[in-house]
Structure 1
Amino acid sequence: MDILVTGGAGFIGSHTCECLLRAGHKVRVFDNMSTGKLSNLKEVRADVDLREADIRDYESLADSCRGMDAVIHLAAVSSVEKSLAEPRSTQHINAGGTLNMIQAAGRQDVRRIVFSSSAAVYGNHPELPKRENSPTQPLSPYGWQKVTGEFYGSFFCRIYRNEFTALRYFNVYGPRQDPSSPYSGVLSIFADKSLRGEPLIIQGDGLQTRDFIHVLDIAEVNLRAVEAGPTPPNILNIATGIETSINHVAEMISTAAAQGSEIRHAAARDNDIHRSFAGIDLMKTYFDYTATIEMNKGVLDLL
């Protein structure tokens, strides 16, 4: 298949491109390089068609969708914190850019769209594990922007008669996640600080939990989402189904790093989700997949 990957030079996107190419697909990358890096694509640069443009530019997006069989839409500002600090600009990118992509793909007769949604859509609703039919109660503009993207996809794909699947990624970690970004994931930030011998700062009591999944598992699921035969459900959780506390994460990384690090606690973040882990029955059923990389091994990729 010919597959367009928006945000393909980024953390998840670059691993997804490698996975698609190994499976024999042709890959076109669409990325404005605001957070994506050419170095992320160094192993496959000669094998991808790179289009440097922004998803807010509808014409560039429509041109890049031409001739594609599927789109994996990863381009976004993937940060709760930045959406709180800059709600208008992130709305234009995350919601407006997604609408551009859905309309461009529909008008170019792209058969299937795979959209990277987020566990942030669930917010702090007490139901555990979080299932695809759990209420959506986002605590941030980012979460609402992802809910909006899911709505746009399910609505407009009925009009364009193509297929739409939203993958609700839980907490993704792994190589190429930029620890220098203030919006990076806690695992990469802790790993970077541990390598520097700096203390690991936990915001709050550390009892808050997350469902961490390695980026290579995410890339494999993205591949299966475009290759799936019968149309999968519109929404699927992508996670391990394992609940891990932030305290445990800090202890695991401090122990795994040669020099270790002191663990400290600071004030809790506003709008922080207390507990989160996924029900993954749909992922197992429709993609015949369970995450393969255990966290105690996956963190070694960061050290």
Structure 2
Amino acid sequence: MTTALVTGGAGFIGSNLVFELVKKGYQVTVVDDLSMGLKANLAEVMDQIEFHEHDVCDHEFMHQVLDHNFDYIYYLAAVASVADSVERPYETHRVNQESVVDTLEYLRVKNLKPKKFLFTSSAAVYGNYPELPKREDSRVQPLTPYAVDKYASERYTIDYGKLYGLSTVAVRFFNVFGPRQNPSSPYSGVMSIVTKCLLNDQEFTLFGDGKQTRDFIYVKDIVNALIFISETPASNEVYNIGYGHQNALIDVIHQYEQAAEKQLKIKFAASRAGDIDESLADVTRLTKLGFKPQWGLENGLREYWEYASNNG
């Protein structure tokens, strides 16, 4: 049976990935300390997976888990809040970089050779340079400890692959939305907060004028891309994962209102420091690999609302 380890598997993207892997018949092990993820996200598959509520910074524990010699390792564990990384740079660094390097080093020392070690990075590494679209070889400008750690960890991932014969890839997520995204943090995905406000008839605070652009991508297309990349011979490369379409936030909100058949109450506020004005992925590298999204923005928004209104 094909085995997979998913760190951060109780989180938003991680839990969606676990569902898909279980559906494919994988034997899945999840490590998540539930600091950001929710056990409820995995409730439907909990009896079909091995779940460890544990911190990935506990290296001794992680080594015992890695000794199972998994076919695939998906490294999603992270403190995903940019604001948190600014407030607690070293604590978040331990999760976002040190734990990744320790895992890679253990694979090297023990000569463990998964079919793929996949590290999830972020479009945050590009920063605010004006060039668009962002190509994987575009210049980077990580502006926060979170972005610095993501960039350093993806370089470690790729270099360990090249230097020590591991099959590694790193992916840079653009703006992901969809089921199981936690809206409780003010720094969580904007569409999850919009969803919560629509469900509860609450006012939504829009920072900036709404013309800031993002490359939104539905979580199911993200998950499909992760599995697709891991199952190809692709190795020692970085891949952007987005749709390659630039959308103004206010336009996406209006599209979502149509899907919900409800109008959002919007309060405009000043832009937040560090917010990026424009974002757009160049997805040529992923497309050349043969990946095709199945959902797209409009269908993703429609299905997300259907899920939210049935589970809200």
Same fold (TM over 0.5): yes
SS of corresponding position for 2:153: helix
Alignment correspondent of 2:182: 178
Alignment correspondent of 1:72: 74
Q: Which moved more, 1:266-275 or 1:153-162?
A: 153-162
Residue type of the alignment partner of 2:165: R
Alignment of 1:247 onto 2:250: yes
Alignment of 1:11 onto 2:12: yes
Could you say if the C-alpha distance between residues 2 and 69 of structure 1 is closer, same or farther in structure 2, counting changes exceeding 3 Å?
A: same
Q: 1:269 aligns with which of 269, 272, 277?
A: 272
Alignment correspondent of 1:295: 297
Under a length normalisation based on structure 2, what TM-score does the superposition of the two structures give? 0.91
Deviation sequence 1:205-241 (CA, Å, 0-9, x none):
111111111111111111112211x234510001111
Deviation sequence 1:238-263 (CA, Å, 0-9, x none):
11111111111232333433442222
Alignment of 1:88 onto 2:105: no
SS of corresponding position for 1:44: helix
Residues of 1 paired with 2:235 and 2:107: CA distance? Answer: 18
Under a length normalisation based on structure 1, what TM-score does the superposition of the two structures give? 0.94
Residues of 2 paired with 1:281 and 1:189: CA distance? Answer: 31
Residues of 1 paired with 2:301 and 2:142: CA distance? Answer: 28
Residues of 2 paired with 1:32 and 1:71: CA distance? Answer: 17
Residue type of the alignment partner of 1:297: N
Residue type of the alignment partner of 2:282: G
SS of corresponding position for 1:166: strand
TM superposition shift of 1:182? 2.2
* Cα-Cα RMSD: 1.6
Identical pairs, percent:
37
Could you say if the C-alpha distance between residues 168 and 82 of structure 1 is closer, same or farther in structure 2, counting changes exceeding 3 Å?
A: same
SS of corresponding position for 1:248: helix
Equivalent residues of 1:8, 1:74 under 8 A apart: yes
SS of corresponding position for 2:44: coil
SS of corresponding position for 1:42: helix
Alignment correspondent of 2:35: 34
Residues of 2 paired with 1:73 and 1:30: CA distance? Answer: 10
Residue type of the alignment partner of 1:61: M
Residues of 2 paired with 1:72 and 1:235: CA distance? Answer: 14
TM superposition shift of 1:281? 1.0
Residues of 1 paired with 2:134 and 2:212: CA distance? Answer: 15
Q: 2:260 aligns with which of 253, 257, 260?
A: 257
Residues of 1 paired with 2:9 and 2:264: CA distance? Answer: 34
Residues of 2 paired with 1:172 and 1:278: CA distance? Answer: 12
Alignment of 1:147 onto 2:151: yes
Could you say if the C-alpha distance between residues 231 and 298 of structure 1 is closer, same or farther in structure 2, counting changes exceeding 3 Å?
A: closer
Equivalent residues of 1:240, 1:280 under 8 A apart: yes
Residue type of the alignment partner of 1:110: K
Residues 121-136 of structure 1: matches in 2 within 5 Å? Answer: 121-136=125-140
Residues of 2 paired with 1:125 and 1:63: CA distance? Answer: 42
Residues of 1 paired with 2:169 and 2:189: CA distance? Answer: 24
Residues of 2 paired with 1:126 and 1:291: CA distance? Answer: 27
Residue type of the alignment partner of 1:25: Y
Alignment correspondent of 1:225: 229
Residues of 2 paired with 1:231 and 1:128: CA distance? Answer: 25
Deviation sequence 1:173-229 (CA, Å, 0-9, x none):
10000111222100010111121112221111111111111111111111112211x
Could you say if the C-alpha distance between residues 145 and 74 of structure 1 is closer, same or farther in structure 2, counting changes exceeding 3 Å?
A: same
Residues 82-121 of structure 1: matches in 2 within 5 Å? Answer: 82-108=84-110, 109-111=112-114, 112-121=116-125
Residues of 1 paired with 2:228 and 2:141: CA distance? Answer: 28
Equivalent residues of 1:203, 1:265 under 8 A apart: yes
Alignment of 1:216 onto 2:220: yes
Please, which runs of 5 or more residues in structure 2 have no aligned partner? Answer: none
Residues of 1 paired with 2:226 and 2:299: CA distance? Answer: 22
